[in-house]
Chains A and B, each alone.
Chain A
Amino acid sequence: MSFLSKKSVLEEFEKAKASKTKEWRDNLPTWCPGCGHFTGLHGLYEAAETLKIPPKDFVVVSGIGCSGRFPFFIKGFGLHGLHGRAIPIATGIKVASPDLTVVVVGGDGDGVGIGGGHFPHAARSNFNLTYILLDNSIYGLTKGQISPTSPMGMKSGTSPYGNIARPINPTTLALAYGATFVARTFSRERDMVSELITKAIQHKGFSFIHDLSPCVVFNKDVTYNSLNSVTATLPDDHDVFDRSRAMALAESTDPIYQGLFFREEIPSFDDHVQKVKDGLNQPA
C-alpha cells in the first residue's frame, strides 16, 4: 500500500486532529499535498507540546526554500531570513538570549549548498541549537533543479544531461563537524520524527536532524517509493556514543539507516561562556 493511498492519508488526518498541538499551530501550511515537510512540522508541534515550550520562548529560524516557511506555521517567534543564513541568525538570537528555545529549519540547498559554510562552525561551537535539515534532494521552490544531495545522473532543468557531481551526505557531515547529537529520520515515520525532534531539543548542545523529506512534485528520482525500499532503522545494538561506528553506518546507502546515530554529552557553548563570565566576576 502506498504511503499516499487514500486510507493512509485519512488515517494520518484523523491522528493529526486528535493531537494536542493546536496551541502551536498558526497559519495553514502552503506546501503541496503529500510533501514530506508536513511530518517535520508536526514533529515540531509535538516536541513543543511534549516539552511544554511556551510560544513566547519558542523561536524558529529558517532560510529560503519550501522548508523556509516553517516560521509562519508555528505559533512562536519566527524569523524567515536569507537563503542559507538561518544558522548565523539563530546563533545571534541564542547567544543574546540563552533562555529561548531556538530551532533552525532549512532545506538541502539552504544548508549544504549556499549556506554550507555555516553548518560546521555551529556544530563545532556546540551552540545550544537544534538544526532540522529537510532533505528533498531538489530545489523545489524554483521548480525542480538538482541540489547538493541529488544523486549522480539525476536529470533536471539545470542538468539536462544528468548530474555529474556526487551527492553530499548531511549526516556524515554533521558527524565530521563535531555535532553532539546526530539523527536521521524519514518523513514517512511520523512518530520517529516527533520523538527525535523532541530529544534533539532536549539535548544540551548542537543537535542535528537530517530528515529525508521527499518532494512529491518535482523529484522523480528520490521518492517515497525509492526511499521505502532502502531505508531501515539502525541496528538495535548500535552504541550512540561511538562516533566512528556512527560514521560507518551513516555512510551506508543501502540500507539508508534512520534513528539516533550519535550523542555526546560535553559542555555546550553556553556552559563555556558561563565559565568565562564566572571567572571574570570573581573578586581579584
Chain B
Amino acid sequence: MKYSEIKIRFCGIAGDGIVASGKILAGACANIGLHVMVNNIYSAEIRGLGKSSATIRFSTSKLYSMGDGLDLLVGMVSKESIIDLRDVKVGGNVIYDISTVGDVAEEDSLVSHITPEIQGHGLPLKKLANEATGTNQGKNLVAIGAISYFYSLPPDMFIDQIKSVFAHKGEHIIDVNINAFRLGYEYFREHYPLNNQFEIDKSSEPRALTSGNDAIAKGAIDCGLKFFAGYPITPATKIMEIAAKELPKLGGWTLQMEDEIAAIGAVLGAWFAGKRAMTATSGPGLSLMSEMINLSVMSEIPTIIVNVQRGGPSTGLPTKVEQGDLNIALYGGAGDSPRVVMAPSNSEECYSGIQLAFDIAEKYQTPVIFLSDLFLGQRIETVTIKENIARNRCTRKKPTSEQLEDFLRYQITDDGVSPMIVPGEPGAVYSTTGLEHSVTGNPNYESDVHSMMTAKRFRKFESMVADLPHANILGDETAEIGIAGWGSTIGSILEGMDIAKKKGVKTKLIKSIMIHPQREDLFREFFASCKKIIVPEMNYQGQYAALLKSRYGIKPIEVHIPAVEPVSPLKIAQKIMETNSELSK
C-alpha cells in the first residue's frame, strides 16, 4: 500500500521506553520535513502497574489533531495492549512479541485477540533486544527497526535520531540501540518482505518540534518574564522546570513555593514590584488561587496564571485531558470579579498567546487566566513559531509629573486604567488593598465609591476590546452549519469539518483565543449567518456553550464530551452529518 499519513501506537508498561520510542520516531519524521503529532498517555503511577502508550501520527500535510484509527499497534506487552486493538483501523496492522507468546494464558495473549480485519505480525521483541543489548531494554528500537522496513522509511533517518537521543549516554548505548534497530529491520525484511510505501518529499526542510508547555514557557521568557513561582502539579510542571532553568541566566528567578496560594501570592508581589511574573498550575491549583485572583482584581495588580487543564473535579484524572475549568476561570471568586480568560488551540498560539496575555495584564492591570490543557500541553507537534523576542511590549500606565504631585493610584479615568508606580522609583508612594478603596487606595466602604470603583474595574474590559485579536472564521463562508469551539478541541473540529467536506457537507468555524472578553460584534455576525450552530467541547456541562448562550442568545447543538482522550474528528464529522440531515428535512 501507499501512504501519505500514518498513525502508530507503542503500547507497554512504564519503564519500557515508550516515551523514547515516540521521541525517536517523531524526531526522525520531523527531520525529514514531515508533519508530526505525538500524544503520550500514561497513568498517574510512575512504575509498576502503570500502562503507558505513545501515539505518533505523521503526514506529508499539516496535522491539526491526533485523528482517529491506528494504522499500526505495537504491543510491547501482551495483556495491557489488548484493549488498544479496538483503536486499530480495519485493514490495520499489529506487531506482537512472538518471543513471549507462550508466557501468558491465552486470554491474556494479544495475538489470540487479533480479529480477521486486522493483520498480525509476530516479531521477537524480547529475544532480539536481548541479543542486541544483553538486557530486556531495546525492545522499542527493535520495533522501530521493523517499522522502518514495513513502511519503507529510510533507516538513516532513524540512525541519526538514535545518535542524538542517546548522545548523553555514550558510545556503547548508541551502538547497542542501533544494533537493536538493525535486528528489527532485518527480521521484518526476512519474514514480511512485502512492505508498504510511504511518500516522502525529499526536498523538505527539517521541522521544529515543541509541546504546548514548552511553547508557553518560551513565549513568556521571550516577552520579558523575570519571575516565576509555582507548585509542582501534573500536567503543568514542565513550564516551571523550564523557567527554573532559564530565568537565572536572564537575571530572573523561579521559586518553588509551599502551595499554589503562595505561588500566586509571590507572583502578585513581583508584579507589584514592577516585574513580569507568572505561575502555572492545573485545576486543583487554580481552585486554591481563587482568593488571590480576587485580590488581583481588587488591587488591580496584574497577574498571569497558566492553567493546564486535566480531568476533574478534585484530584480527578491527573494524567487525562478535559476542558472542565472554564467556569472556575471565568467565574471563580467572590463578588463582581472580572478577569481575562484566554485559550490557545495549538502550540503556535501557546507561544504568541502568552505574549498577548502579558501585554493585556500589564496594560489593563488585570489577572489573565491562560487555559491550556493536558493534551495541548504535553503533545509534541511540528510547528512554525515566529519568534518574537524584541517585540514592542506594552508598558504600564505611568503618572505624569503633575499626577505624581498628588498621586492617586486608583484615579478614575475614561478607559478605567489608572497610573501605577513601582516601589523604588522616586516620586510618590501608595498603599494598595483588597478592601474596597477610594482613588487614593485608602479603605472606603461608601456605596458611591463602591459603585464607581466596580464600574471602573469593568470599564477596563470595554477598553480592552480595541486591543483584542480578531476572531478567525475558517471553512466555507457560505456554509449554513457553523461551529464554535475553544482550546485544543479546535484541532479535532477542523479535521472533522474536513471529513464532512469530503462527504459534500460545508461548514464554517469561529475560533478566538479570547474567551473573555470577546470581539462580540464578530461572533454575533457569525452566528447570524448560521442556520445551525454546533458547540463541541471536552466537558460534561457544556461550559463554553453556556457562555455563548448567555452572551449571544443562541440555541446551539451542544456536544459534551467528558474526555479522557482528545476528541475524535470522526465524532465531530458524525455530528455535522446528523445536523446536515436535519437541515435538509
Binding site for B on A (CB under 8 A): 26-27, 55-61, 64, 71-72, 74-82, 85, 87-97, 99-100, 117-118, 120-121, 273, 276-277, 280
Residue numbers of B with Cβ under 8 A of A are 226-227, 229, 248-249, 251, 253, 255, 257-259, 261-263, 265-275, 277, 291-292, 295, 299, 423-427, 429-435, 442-443
Known: A85-B292, A88-B265. 5 other contacts (CB 8 A): A55-B429, A75-B429, A89-B266, A91-B269, A96-B274
Contact among B274, B291, B423, B443 with A72 in the assembled complex (CB-CB below 8 Å): B443
Decide: B429 and A88 in contact? CB cutoff 8 A.
no
Residue of A nearest to B276 (CB): A96
- Chain A residue nearest in CB terms to B269: A92
- Given the complex of chains A and B, what is the CA–CA distance between A110 and B543 in angstroms? 36
Task: Please name all residues of chain A whose beta carbon is closer than 8 Å to the beta carbon of B442 when the two chains form the complex.
Answer: 27, 72
Measured between beta carbons, the chain B residues less than 8 angstroms from A56 are 423-427, 429
For A26, what are the chain B residues with a Cβ–Cβ distance below 8 Å? 431
CB distance from A120 to the nearest CB of B (A): 8
Contact B248 A97 (CB under 8 A): no
Which residues of the partner chain A approach B262 to less than 8 Å between Cβ atoms? 85, 87-88, 91, 117-118, 121
> B503 to nearest A CB, angstroms?
55
User: Chain B CB within 10 Å — which of A26, A78, A92, A97 has the most?
Assistant: A92
Query: In the docked arrangement, what's the CA distance between A81 and B264, Å?
Result: 12
Query: Contact between A117 and B259 (Cβ–Cβ < 8 Å)?
Result: yes
22 examples of A-B residue contacts, CB within 8 angstroms:
A77-B430, A78-B429, A78-B431, A79-B269, A79-B431, A80-B432, A80-B433, A82-B295, A85-B262, A88-B263, A89-B269, A92-B229, A92-B269, A92-B273, A95-B253, A95-B266, A97-B424, A99-B424, A117-B262, A120-B258, A121-B262, A273-B248
B265 touches A71 (CB 8 A): no
* Cβ-defined contact, A273 with B253, below 8 A: yes
Pair A80/B227 contact, Cβ less than 8 Å: no
For A74, the chain B residues whose CB sits under 8 A away are: 431
Contact B268–A80 (Cβ < 8 Å): no
User: How far does the alpha carbon of A77 sit from the alpha carbon of B273 in the complex, in Å?
Assistant: 10
Inter-subunit contact B299/A79 (CB<8 Å): yes
Contacts of B295 in A (CB 8 A): 81-82
In the complex with contacts A56-B424, A92-B265, A96-B227, A78-B277 CB distance below 8 A = no
Contacts of B292 in A (CB 8 A): 82, 85
Out of A77, A88, A90, A120, name the residue touching B431 (CB < 8 Å). Answer: A77
Q: Provide the residues of chain B in CB contact with A87, threshold 8 Å.
A: 262
Q: Is there an interface contact between A93 and B424, defined as CB atoms closer than 8 Å?
A: no
Selected from A92, A97, A277, the residue in CB contact (under 8 A) with B266 is A92
Chain A CB within 10 Å — which of B268, B273, B275, B425 has the most? B273
A58 vs B426: C-alpha distance when bound (angstroms): 12
Give the distance to chain B from A152, nearest Cβ to Cβ, in Å.
Answer: 29
| A82 with B434, Cβ < 8 A, contacts A91-B269, A280-B248 known | yes
Give the Cβ gap from A141 to chain B, nearest Cβ, in Å: 12
Q: Are B275 and A96 in contact, CB atoms less than 8 angstroms apart?
A: yes
Would you call B273 and A100 a contact (CB within 8 A)? yes
Partner of A59, one of B266, B267, B423, B443: B423
Minimum CB–CB distance from A21 to chain B (whole Å) comes to 15
* Contact residues in B for A95 (Cβ distance below 8 Å): 227, 253, 255, 266, 270
CB < 8 Å: which of B263, B267, B273 contacts A97? B273
Known: A80-B432, A85-B292, A277-B248. A93 touches B423 (CB 8 A): yes
Which of B277, B423, B427, B443 is packed against the most chain A CB atoms within 10 Å?
Answer: B423
Tell whether A88 pairs with B257 under 8 Å between CB atoms, given A77-B430, A77-B431, A82-B295. Answer: yes
**Are A97 and B431 closer than 8 Å at their CB atoms?**
no
Measured between alpha carbons, how far is A77 from B441 in the docked complex, in Å?
A: 11
Whole-angstrom CA separation of A79 from B435 in the bound complex? 11
A96 to B422, CA, bound (A): 11
Q: Which residue of B lies closest to A26 (CB)?
A: B431
B contact residues around A276 at 8 Å (CB): 248
B266 touching A91 by the CB < 8 A rule? yes
A121 to chain B: closest residue by CB: B258
Asked whether B273 lies within 8 Å of A96 as measured between CB atoms, the reply is yes
| A100–B424 CB distance below 8 A | yes
A76: chain B residues at CB < 8 Å are 429
Which residues on B sit within 8 Å (CB–CB) of A89?
A: 265-266, 268-269, 272
- State the Cβ distance, A213 to closest chain B Cβ, in Å: 21
The 6 closest A-B pairs by CB, nearest first: A92-B269, A78-B431, A88-B265, A92-B266, A88-B262, A96-B270
Compute how far the CA of A117 lies from the CA of B229 in the bound complex, rounded to whole angstroms: 16
Find chain B residues with CB under 8 A from A60 CB: 431
Distance in angstroms between the alpha carbons of A76 and B432 in the assembled complex: 11
Max chain B C-beta neighbours (<10 A), residue from A26, A58, A77 = A77
**A92 adjacent to B433 (CB under 8 Å):** no
A78 to B251, CA, bound (A): 25
Contact of B273 among A71, A93, A121, A277 (CB under 8 A): A93
Q: Is B266 in contact with A88, judged by CB distance below 8 angstroms? A: yes
CA distance A96 to B266 in the complex (A): 9
Question: Which of B271, B277, B427, B433 is the most central at the interface, judged by chain A CB atoms within 10 Å of its CB?
Answer: B433
C-alpha gap A109/B434 in the complex (Å):
18
